[in-house]
């Protein structure tokens, strides 16, 4: 590292007040930040609390969930198995996992491991049937291959990029099939042991594991609300997609190993991270058009700076890509490899720069009112490379937080404006029953609300824990629109489309309902139909 270390550290330290203000504005309980430069750790810092009630601060060994940033670890596992000759990047998936199935015959016959890992299957990536808040998985692993066929084919195989965590479920199944070991054991054998990562796990007990950051979600006023649950991925089909919990110290070790491998392209790495020519090369463009490169490797987005980054997080959902900042202006052009993640109570943001062996790793323990983890990461990147065209990250946080909260207010306004006066024309009993999807493995129970005579209650999978008040909206449509605070307290991710919260009931004979439609998947034009089963008439 040729740069003056003192000057670099002063720039990084000078971001303290900005980061504290970002956390307060967006509602982040705690954050841990690490920076590598020239392959060396040049900065670590912890803000806020891993446990707000007890005022406990995080340290380098504090565990955080990393959600989708887990994918690169399991891609590295797959790469090691390829090098051992047990897996193939290009062999059809069905030759390894015969039960592999899909709604598209072409995907079923031709899809391979790179297609799954690079998100180019072009299947809908929505997961609203398996996750409805409160940290639970509503679809069990035993039903995965039946459930997987529900993912609609949006366009042809390899035509373009659609982010889809189910692809890593398929990759995980291939890893387990050829290795004869669990994903947790493979992670230990191929990643954590070789890299001496002693706080990186996907198989743990949330209640007994020490030094664990508590999970939070931000209320509308920015107050961190402690969540009673975490998402447990042990043995679930999303384990390879989002199941890892790790610490800042371990993420810095991991980043160093990845940088070492990525810096040797196009040659194969000779360290623990193998098959670098596949892991870090471009496999499909991401979010076109883009003047500079913006493509997907295997769980790393490649972006040439100056450019827009953070395109897979909540900030791009809050405002369009043309309102995201361009970083790297006034600095030396360089390649960024990055990924963002989310799980219940945790948002991370990982950035690597192979040319300078630099990294910015950010871990947070909050579902904030914007993707604050990514704004913090970009704040540190700007300081790291001393960009001469500085961006006001705090003002961006304020802007995106305001817009996020405005969406919730707008949904409530839409319901108030469109709700028909006078209530439903039918007796509420006409709507009662269990409504099943076309696989029979997911259903929505509609029953009388136990406390409100003029309302119904929906229960996903018939579970009282997953119940929501269902209110008359118009005609035969009922809604369960949530406020920001209700969303936060149920450990749900942001949902800004009011139509998502509408159930449209249908009757074939003009009396009792025989189906409902729900547009839960924005990638699919038509809403899904749920047919009423035989358990209607619930009181």
The answer to whether the 5-122+157-384+392-405 and 428-532 domains have the same CATH topology is no
Angstrom distance (rounded) from CA 287 to CA 160 = 9
Question: Residue 534's pLDDT is what?
Answer: 52
Question: Residue 277's pLDDT is what?
Answer: 86
The answer to whether 373 and 69 are in contact (CB under 8 A) is no
Q: Residue 224: how many CB atoms within 10 A of its CB?
A: 25
Find residue 444's DSSP bridge partners: 435, 460
pLDDT tens for 126-137 read 777 899 999 999
Q: Residue 14: how many CB atoms within 10 A of its CB?
A: 10
**Is domain 428-532 classified as CATH 1.20.1050.10?**
no
Find residue 225's DSSP bridge partners: 217
Question: Residue 394's pLDDT is what?
Answer: 98
User: Which residues, including other chains, have CB under 8 Å from residue 302's CB and lie 6 or more apart?
Assistant: 280, 282, 293, 294, 295, 296, 335, 336, 337
Long-range contacts of the stretch 387-396 (C-beta < 8 A, 24+): 387/327, 387/328, 387/329, 387/330, 387/331, 388/329, 388/330, 388/331, 389/329, 389/330, 391/325, 391/327, 393/18, 393/22, 394/18, 394/21, 394/22, 394/25, 396/325
Question: Residue 275's pLDDT is what?
Answer: 87
Half-sphere exposure of 212 (CA within 13 A, CB side): 18
pLDDT tens for 347-386 read 999 999 999 999 999 999 999 999 999 999 999 999 999 9
CATH architecture of the domain covering 5-122+157-384+392-405: 3-Layer(aba) Sandwich (3.40)
Tell me phi and psi for residue 270, to 5 degrees: -110, 15
What's the DSSP call for residue 153? B
Tokens of 420: 């028909």
The answer to whether 49 and 42 are in contact (CB under 8 A) is no
260-297 as b/e, with b when 16 or more CB fall inside 10 Å? bbbbbeeeebeebbbbbebbbbebbbbbeebeeebbbb
Q: Which among 61, 121, 114 has a CA at the least distance from the CA of 91? A: 114
Angstrom distance (rounded) from CA 42 to CA 272 = 23
Task: Give the global pTM.
Answer: 0.95
Whole-number mean pLDDT of the chain? 93
Question: Residue 264's pLDDT is what?
Answer: 77
Q: Which among 39, 82, 70, 68 has a CA at the least distance from the CA of 278? A: 82
pLDDT tens for 290-340 read 788 999 999 999 999 999 999 999 999 999 999 999 999 888 999 999 999
CA-CA-CA-CA dihedral for 99, 104, 108, 113, to nearest 10: -110
Tell me phi and psi for residue 334, to 5 degrees: -155, 160
H-state helical runs in 422-493: 484-489
What are the domain boundaries of the chain? 5-122+157-384+392-405, 428-532
- 385-391 average pLDDT score: 91
Cβ burial of 423 (10 Å; 0-12, 13-18, 19+) is exposed
Is the pLDDT assigned to residue 23 strictly greater than 60?
yes
Is the pLDDT assigned to residue 539 strictly greater than 50?
no
Q: Which among 481, 523, 521, 475 has a CA at the least distance from the CA of 502? A: 481
pLDDT tens for 39-61 read 999 999 999 999 999 999 999 99
H-state helical runs in 304-392: 314-318, 372-384
- 199-225 average pLDDT score: 95
The CA–CA distances, whole Å, from 183 to 78, 116, 162 equal 11, 17, 24
């Amino acid at each position: 590292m040729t740069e003056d270390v003192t000057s670099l550290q002063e720039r990084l330290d000078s971001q303290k007040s900005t980061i504290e203000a970002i956390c307060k504005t967006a509602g982040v309980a705690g954050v841990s930040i690490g920076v590598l430069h020239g392959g060396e750790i040049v900065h670590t810092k912890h803000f806020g609390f891993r446990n707000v009630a007890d005022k406990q601060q995080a340290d380098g060994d504090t565990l955080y969930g990393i959600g989708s940033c887990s994918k690169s670890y399991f891609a590295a596992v797959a790469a090691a198995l390829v090098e051992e000759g047990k897996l193939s990047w290009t062999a059809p998936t069905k030759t390894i996992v015969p039960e592999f199935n899909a709604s598209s015959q072409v995907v079923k016959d031709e899809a391979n491991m790179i297609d799954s890992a690079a998100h180019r299957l072009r299947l809908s990536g929505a997961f609203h049937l398996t996750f409805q808040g409160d940290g639970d998985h509503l679809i069990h692993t035993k039903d995965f291959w039946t459930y997987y066929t529900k993912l609609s084919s949006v366009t042809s195989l390899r035509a373009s990029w659609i982010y889809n965590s189910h692809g890593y479920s398929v990759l995980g199944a291939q890893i387990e099939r050829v290795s004869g070991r669990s994903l947790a054991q493979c992670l230990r054998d191929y990643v954590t042991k070789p890299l001496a990562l002693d706080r990186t796990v996907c198989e743990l007990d949330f209640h007994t594991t020490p030094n664990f950051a508590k999970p939070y979600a931000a209320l509308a006023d920015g107050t961190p609300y402690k969540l009673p649950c975490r998402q447990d991925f042990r043995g679930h089909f999303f384990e390879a997609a989002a199941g890892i919990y790790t610490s800042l110290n371990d993420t810095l070790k991991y980043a160093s190993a990845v940088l070492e491998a990525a810096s040797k392209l196009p040659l194969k790495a000779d360290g623990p991270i193998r098959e670098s020519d596949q892991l870090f090369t471009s496999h499909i463009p991401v979010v076109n058009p883009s003047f500079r490169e913006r493509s997907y490797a295997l769980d790393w987005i490649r972006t040439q700076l100056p450019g827009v980054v953070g395109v897979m997080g909540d900030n791009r959902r809050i405002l369009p890509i043309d309102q995201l900042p361009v970083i790297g202006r006034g600095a030396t052009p360089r390649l960024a490899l990055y990924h963002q993640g989310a799980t219940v109570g945790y948002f991370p943001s990982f950035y690597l720069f192979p040319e300078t062996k630099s990294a910015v790793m950010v871990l947070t323990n909050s579902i904030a009112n914007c993707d604050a983890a990514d704004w913090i990461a970009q704040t540190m990147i700007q300081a790291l490379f001393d960009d001469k065209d500085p961006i006001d990250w705090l003002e961006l946080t304020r802007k995106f937080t305001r817009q996020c909260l405005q969406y919730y207010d707008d949904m409530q306004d839409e319901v108030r404006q469109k709700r028909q006066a006078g209530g439903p024309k039918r007796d509420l009993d006409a709507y009662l029953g269990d409504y099943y999807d076309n696989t029979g493995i997911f259903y929505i129970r509609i029953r009388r609300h136990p406390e409100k005579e003029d309302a119904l209650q929906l229960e996903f999978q018939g579970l009282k824990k997953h119940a929501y008040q269902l209110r008359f909206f118009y005609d035969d449509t009922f809604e369960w629109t949530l406020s920001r605070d209700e969303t936060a307290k149920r450990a749900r991710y942001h949902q800004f489309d009011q139509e998502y919260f509408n159930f449209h009931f249908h009757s074939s004979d003009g009396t009792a309902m025989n189906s409902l439609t729900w547009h839960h998947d924005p990638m699919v034009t038509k809403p899904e139909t749920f047919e009423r089963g035989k358990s209607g008439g619930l009181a």
